Amino acid sequence: MTQIRTLLLAAATAAAALTASPALAECYADYRAKMDNPLRLHYGILELPANACSVGAAAPVIASRIAQGGWELLQVVSVFDESGLTSRRADAGDYFLRF
């Protein structure tokens, strides 16, 4: 009986570790935004909470954050992990992780 409990505990621990790992992964999105009068456009990158790590879920999060700076979201380009930051950094310029 003790061996069964030990095996069940080990299996539960392993399952918890596997399901927790994706939640710890960092999530980012790149987006396009505009501001009117005069028309200004920008491309930016921001970090997202784990529960918004899809294009559909990211849109309201991004729109809310950039609206504080007077910007309107035009498009969520993509959602990606930390490995995509370096290749996008130069394109985002001043809007790299600004919001």
Say which residue the tokens 């959602």 belong to: 79
Average of per-residue pLDDT across 49-69: 96
User: Are 86 and 59 within 8 A, CB to CB?
Assistant: no
Terminal Cα-to-Cα distance of the chain (whole angstroms): 54
In this prediction the pTM is: 0.73
Q: pLDDT by residue (tens digit) across 71-81?
A: 999 999 999 99
Confidence of residue 89 (pLDDT cuts 50, 70, 90): very high
